[in-house]
Amino acid sequence: MQFLIFVIFAGAMYWFYYNFLLGYRKKNITLTFDDRFYSLDEHVAAIEQKLATDGHSARYLGDRRFEVDGKPYLFLERTVSVGGTPTQQTILEQQKK
């Protein structure tokens, strides 16, 4: 019985980690680049270029806010460990109008 509770708890924690901390929610746009960006201007330019190649119309509004396909998004960045290597992850979180 304790093992079953542990498995359920571990599954719930994995789900929480995957969906909330890494930004893989339904309306979010998650990008992982090969390069690490230290300047906000370079990072914004890379986001706009990546979204354009993916077929989205993207516009930077300033103050870490984007408009992608007419919908407002907030730009977040996180450093996550992928295989023991720190990786910069870009999350565009959809905002309510």
Provide the pLDDT for residue 3. 83
Provide the pLDDT for residue 8. 83
- pLDDT tens digits for range 22-61: 555 668 888 988 889 999 999 999 999 999 999 999 999 9
Which residues 6+ apart lie within 8 Å of 33 measured at CB? 46, 50, 88, 90
Report the predicted TM-score, pTM, of the whole model to 2 decimal places. Answer: 0.73
Q: Which two tokens stand for residue 3?
A: 């093992």
For strand 65-68 and strand 71-82, is the pairing parallel, antiparallel, or unpaired? antiparallel
